[in-house]
Structure 1
Amino acid sequence: MITALRNLFGSTIGKFIALAFIALIGVLFALGDVTGNASFGGFGSANVAKVGSREIGLGELRERVNQAYNQARQQQPGLTKAAFVEGGGLDQVLDQLVDGMAFEQFTTDLGFGVSKRQIDGRIADIPAFAGVSGKFDQKTFENFLRQNGMTEAQIRRELKQQLLLEQIGVPIGSIPRVSLGVARPYAALLLEQRQGQALFIPASAFAPAGDPGDAALKTFLDQNRSKFTVPERRTLQYATFDRSAVPVPAVSDAEIAKAYKAGAAQYAASETRRFAQVIAPDQATANGIAAKVRGGSSLAAAAQAAGLSASTTGELTQTAYAATTSDAIAKTAFAAKQGDVLGPVQSGLGWVVARVEAVTVKPARTLAEATPEIRTELGKNKANEAIVDYYNAIQDAVNGGASIEEIAADRKLKVEETPALLPSGRAPDMPGFTLSAEFAPMVSGAFQTAGEGESQLATLVENEKFAVYSVKSITAAAPPPFAKIRTDLLTEWRYAQGQKIARDKARAIAKATEGGKKTLPDAAREAGAAMAGVQPIGGRRADLGRDGKPVPPELALLFSMAKGSVKTLEVPGNRGWMVVSLGQVDRPDPKAIEPGRVAAIAQPLSPAFGNELVEQFAAEAKRRVGVKINKDLVEQLRKELTGTTPVGE
């Protein structure tokens, strides 16, 4: 939800993606207020941090971590909360809360500010707060806040922080300009080339063939629960409605007559004309062009001969043509016949010579003649109004706490139910199940709600189709029954056992090659025929990750090693180990690099230097306002979130 909201805000700050401070502060990540439980002389019993004059409560931090986890889980369906926290999720959320509060207080003390009108404008521009009409809708805004457990004051605070960041962070980050002299060492580093060797030792070559029995496999499962855990799934109830379900009042004759009267000018007789014309700088030139045209030459040819060019207008009324020339010229032009040559006549831009290319006369239409068109237009308007009213009525019912069953019964909608779904819409227990792609907004919303039973609305097709839904039940993340995954457990256990032997082999080979005692191929041969062949690896540092491609782990390791060294590298998933040897390093002399190449490298370095300035500003903000962290309470929360130890507020 946090990332989605950040994207919806569409801030111009996003253009400065090189400023890691944006991610550091995470202004829009910390969606909510601080607890305000100030305690005299230090921390309150449930405050994990004090930032200047504000405090961050334990419950506040717990909620932020849960929100961040829910968002991360949408991107990585297999992610467990324990893995998220152990991977730094808790620390990142706390850092973002602290940095955002410190930044706001520091910049406010410096005299920077944000007006209510600026925040109002930013709120009105957020697509998430738009109603069915596409414009800001107060009810949609209030429903968004309710669904996400926020208040208007909270979101205004976050937007204030974002606007302050735009005022200060972007200018600071844009200051540096890297000189060629500073850029040369970096250019040499990027042009550095390395050559080495890599040996892959597969775990499968040493995997035991036997079965250790259920007890050993269950112990292995307990030790690797996260690997076999199926993420949280949610069963949804939903009912769809579209324009076909909404009754639309018939268009009456009185309404048609009223519309006909209001649009009298539209149905009155009209005449439009299309002109070819040229504007000459003086009367003599214009006279010459007009004479040639009247003599049979085309206006375009006559204008070209005079060094000018003719243009052709679209279909214009007399009023529209007068706006581009003058009332007198337009009056003359609309009195002429098709094919007549007009002018030269003086206008504000010069001397005009024109030719009437086409005359289109549209006769007046009676009420009876205009009725079909008016009825169609009024029907569309009524249909749009009806779907908006219908949607708003259901939204009011949702806001009032009505269940999906009550809403469906009241509106005569059919309630359907999904199997237990992952955030991706896949149902692990029903491999053949397929949910239409149009339901993606509904599934996404269902995984952003806090619990079961609460009705929600989702737009499936913009302005056309919608769904009212609720989470019927939540299946907690857990491994499947032992019997169901025993075969997979056995396979993974065998790989894990083989991985231990592969590790020992890799370390022995690396030790055997230390100091150049043996070459990597020789050490590999002595280790046994089960080894895969030694492969050459290498390349240029600047080519790593080119075009967004992931960098192979062995190459990443190669470019972080000292020349002549040998390192071991574990292959994820218990699939083996690698031994990497670095033989040759070629780095050009910085002074010998062409200035053009150095300049090309200096340009993208500027944002990196700007990033450092902004990070220094952020650090100074925290130093000035003062930050204290209750590390013991943070660790207690970490244990709670990873399922190690419960903690109460």
Structure 2
Amino acid sequence: MFQFFRKFFQSKIGLAVTFAFLGLIAFAFASSDVANTGTFGGVAGGDRVAVVGDRKVSTAELSRAASTALDQARRDNPNLTMEEFVAAGGLDQTLNRMLDRYAIAEYARSIGLRAGENLVNSEIVNIPQFRGPSGAFDQNVYRAALQQVGLTDAVFRADLADGLLAQQILQPTTANATIPTGIARQYASLFRERRTGSIAFLPSAAFAPEGEASNAQLQSYYNENRSRYVRPERRIIRYVTFGPDAIAEQAAPTEAEITRYYRENEEEFAAREERSFTQVIASSQAAARSIASAVAGGQSLAQAAQAAGLRTTTVDPSTKAEIEATANEAVAKAYFAAGEGSLTTPARGNLGWYVARVEDISSQSGRTLAQAREDIAATVRQQKTNRLLSDLSAEIENSLADGVSLTDLAEELELEVQTTRPVVADGSIYGTPGERVPDAVAPAVETAFQMVESEPQIAEVTRGEEFLIFEVSRITESATAPFAEIRDRLVRDWRIVQGQRAARAAADRVLARMNGETDLPAAVRSLDTSVPPPEAVSLTREELARLREQRVPPPLALFFSMAQGTQKKLEAENSTGYYVVSLNEIIPGQLEQSDPLVAQAQTQLGQAIEQEYQQQLVTAMRNSQGVEINQAAVEAVRRQLIGEN
């Protein structure tokens, strides 16, 4: 409940860095994403955008971080462009986050804090993105993930260490911040205050001119508002789709193919043993042996690991070959030499020394060709389907390059050509609200708006399952709608605009009469136009909070931001009229000594204070380390990102 109240008194100081531990790990991985922005080694203004203490921040780092921040913002706004992101301050915010983070790490190191190899290793093996099919950390997956985002192991470890240092220095200094009960009570009492007054609505329709508008009036309005009547570019798309059904007969597996697959994959059908483990990875043989000794002495593996400053991880059922692939041969040998419930002998692997408890052992008997035939047939069919579809799509692509038309291809493939109605760039059907292009066409809309007419292309809609051959058959350019075609709409809009202007003037007259000591109902009755009578309002913030699942009406929001004895006007949405809001009295809220609202206020305002403390601490650390920004280099990155270079 108090969360609603807090929105009225929110701190304006936002937290520049996400300090939650897992958030830091995620940022450490995501902030180094690679964008196709080029190399900034020779960018105008130098290759350093800032220096934090002795640490330099390169133009390439800022460019990558800005590209990643844009990708994250696109989760909420898929159409956001880099130009819009930069114009809204996204680049500056990204740079500030980087400088804050580096300042924290540099300050932490200056006072002796460390994020050692053991701690970094322990966190790496627990990052979900680095787990293989068995659910355990996979060295190959780890390397591939870093390679995908253009990172080296050393750079990633350094980035992760920065996040761990931030955790060490920020959490103890800002945890459990509280505010005095007296202050919390004062704020909480505002939640119970009652406001009384009234709200009048002056609808624009009541003030709209009567009779028909003249052609001269409409033409003048049309000329002044041409941009409101611009029709978007529309395109008609012709297309056919095909998938596995097109090559179903050719993809049927033969007996020879099934037998060959069985012979070539004998290991897949042989007897196998899988084991699940709880493991810990130490940095040295001595540390691993110490953990094993502690377990032998009666401690659990988790307790022994915690005492050494490490954490255990769970390895899902895996074969010996899978363990060997994720660790190495020595670890796999040790893991499969111990009995169920036993501790393995410490063995050196890719990340350190491995010790594990064998949690479960399961064995699976082998299968004969007859027993595996159905599964093999399905696998062979899928393999042939993928290959045949790939070959067919390549043939179609070559045919399109040779100038074969969509109609001819459809006839050859015995497919029916379908045609959309006019489509706009976001995939919706022009003139039909809520209707969109078919799902099969949706992924191709963006490309279709970059094509010329009658030049078909092929696209894979669903990998290995559905393909689309499409072309643009007609393009209608964006333009202002002709006057004659939208005359009825112009009449309606002109009346709304004229009525809205008159409603505003009427609201001003009402306010003027109220300044002469007339109350709102009397002032409204004095108007020449008949409008609904004002509605009396008597609400507390607590009652208003019950609307939290809905949108608080704008006049009520204004009502709760006004001073006692004041009146204000507010334009209604969509030019539907004007509100006149009058606040007569504010009655202070009363709280019992044990009212739970006070505790809620302490908790939630305490969280805001934690954020304030964190920001102040980060600012102090920045000042301590010294931050210099090369504005010329920042501007060069800005121009590069928006394509001005």
Which category describes the TM-score, using the shorter chain as reference length?
A: 0.5 to 0.7
CA separation in 1, counterparts of 2:146 and 2:401?
Answer: 21
Question: Which runs of structure 2 are paired with 1:628-647 in the superposition (5 Å)?
Answer: none
The match for 1:425 is: 427
Is 1:248 the counterpart of 2:251? The answer is yes
The match for 1:36 is: 40
Question: Which runs of structure 2 are paired with 1:564-575 in the superposition (5 Å)?
Answer: 564-575=565-576
TM-score (norm 2): 0.56
Change (3 A) 1:527 1:125: farther
Is 1:504 the counterpart of 2:501? The answer is no
CA separation in 2, counterparts of 1:404 and 1:505?
Answer: 70
Partner of 2:575: helix, strand, or coil? Answer: coil
> How far off is 1:529 after superposition?
4.0
CA separation in 2, counterparts of 1:382 and 1:249?
Answer: 8
| CA displacement 1:131-176 (0-9 Å, x = unmatched) | xxxx98999999xx9xxxxx8579x999998996797489848734
One-letter amino acid of the structure 2 residue matched with residue 379 of structure 1: A
Question: Which runs of structure 2 are paired with 1:315-354 in the superposition (5 Å)?
Answer: none
Does the CA-based 8 Å contact 2:176-2:606 persist in structure 1? yes
Does the CA-based 8 Å contact 1:236-1:472 persist in structure 2? yes
One-letter amino acid of the structure 1 residue matched with residue 484 of structure 2: A
Decide which moves more: 166-175 or 236-245.
166-175
Question: Which runs of structure 2 are paired with 1:205-216 in the superposition (5 Å)?
Answer: 205-210=206-211, 213=214, 216=217
CA separation in 1, counterparts of 2:220 and 2:126?
Answer: 58
Does the CA-based 8 Å contact 2:19-2:170 persist in structure 1? no
Change (3 A) 1:99 1:617: farther
Partner of 1:548: helix, strand, or coil? Answer: coil
> How far off is 1:550 after superposition?
0.7
> How far off is 1:376 after superposition?
1.8
> How far off is 1:553 after superposition?
0.1
One-letter amino acid of the structure 2 residue matched with residue 521 of structure 1: P
Larger radius of gyration: 1
| CA displacement 1:452-487 (0-9 Å, x = unmatched) | 489785655x87545577888987765434333332
Change (3 A) 1:648 1:255: closer
Is 1:102 the counterpart of 2:99? The answer is yes
Structure 1 portions without partners, runs of 5+: 1-12, 128-134, 146-150, 267-322, 326-363, 642-646
Partner of 1:494: helix, strand, or coil? Answer: helix
Is 1:175 the counterpart of 2:172? The answer is no
Change (3 A) 1:500 1:470: same
One-letter amino acid of the structure 2 residue matched with residue 36 of structure 1: F
Question: Which runs of structure 2 are paired with 1:127-276 in the superposition (5 Å)?
Answer: 152=150, 168=166, 172=170, 175-179=175-179, 181=181, 182-210=183-211, 213=214, 216-217=217-218, 219-221=220-222, 223-224=224-225, 227-230=228-231, 239-246=240-247, 247-248=250-251, 250-253=253-256, 254-255=259-260, 258=263
> How far off is 1:577 after superposition?
0.6
The match for 1:599 is: 599
Is 1:90 the counterpart of 2:93? The answer is no
Partner of 1:197: helix, strand, or coil? Answer: strand
Partner of 2:196: helix, strand, or coil? Answer: strand
Change (3 A) 1:417 1:483: same
> How far off is 1:499 after superposition?
1.2
Q: Residue 380 of structure 1: which of 378, 393, 412 is its match?
A: 378
Is 1:536 the counterpart of 2:554? The answer is no
| CA displacement 1:232-280 (0-9 Å, x = unmatched) | 65665655343323542514253476499768888xxxxxxxxxxxxxx
| CA displacement 1:604-629 (0-9 Å, x = unmatched) | 44443344445556767887534576
Identity of aligned residues (%): 20
> How far off is 1:548 after superposition?
2.9
Does the CA-based 8 Å contact 1:27-1:96 persist in structure 2? no
One-letter amino acid of the structure 2 residue matched with residue 625 of structure 1: V
Change (3 A) 1:204 1:385: same
> How far off is 1:559 after superposition?
0.7
CA separation in 1, counterparts of 2:67 and 2:534?
Answer: 50
Change (3 A) 1:164 1:109: closer
| CA displacement 1:388-431 (0-9 Å, x = unmatched) | 5567779999999x979889969959675544434663211567
| CA displacement 1:104-144 (0-9 Å, x = unmatched) | 554564569999998999795799xxxxxxx98999999xx
| CA displacement 1:426-461 (0-9 Å, x = unmatched) | 211567975335655x26xx449994489785655x
CA separation in 1, counterparts of 2:620 and 2:237?
Answer: 48
The match for 1:549 is: 550
One-letter amino acid of the structure 2 residue matched with residue 188 of structure 1: S
One-letter amino acid of the structure 1 residue matched with residue 187 of structure 2: Y
The match for 1:514 is: 515
One-letter amino acid of the structure 2 residue matched with residue 554 of structure 1: P
CA separation in 2, counterparts of 1:482 and 1:126?
Answer: 63
Partner of 2:570: helix, strand, or coil? Answer: strand
CA separation in 2, counterparts of 1:107 and 1:470?
Answer: 55
Structure 2 portions without partners, runs of 5+: 1-16, 52-56, 133-139, 272-338, 342-364
CA separation in 2, counterparts of 1:473 and 1:158?
Answer: 50
Does the CA-based 8 Å contact 1:200-1:577 persist in structure 2? yes
Change (3 A) 1:500 1:35: farther
CA separation in 1, counterparts of 2:32 and 2:377?
Answer: 43
> How far off is 1:208 after superposition?
2.0
| CA displacement 1:567-607 (0-9 Å, x = unmatched) | 110112221111001122233256x4535332234334444
Change (3 A) 1:595 1:530: closer
Partner of 2:596: helix, strand, or coil? Answer: helix
Partner of 1:513: helix, strand, or coil? Answer: helix
Decide which moves more: 558-567 or 526-535.
526-535
CA separation in 2, counterparts of 1:170 and 1:543?
Answer: 42
Partner of 1:573: helix, strand, or coil? Answer: helix
RMSD over aligned Cα atoms = 6.3
Question: Which runs of structure 2 are paired with 1:432-511 in the superposition (5 Å)?
Answer: 435-437=437-439, 442=443, 446-447=445-446, 451-452=450-451, 459-460=461-462, 464-465=465-466, 467=468, 479-511=480-512
TM-score (norm 1): 0.56
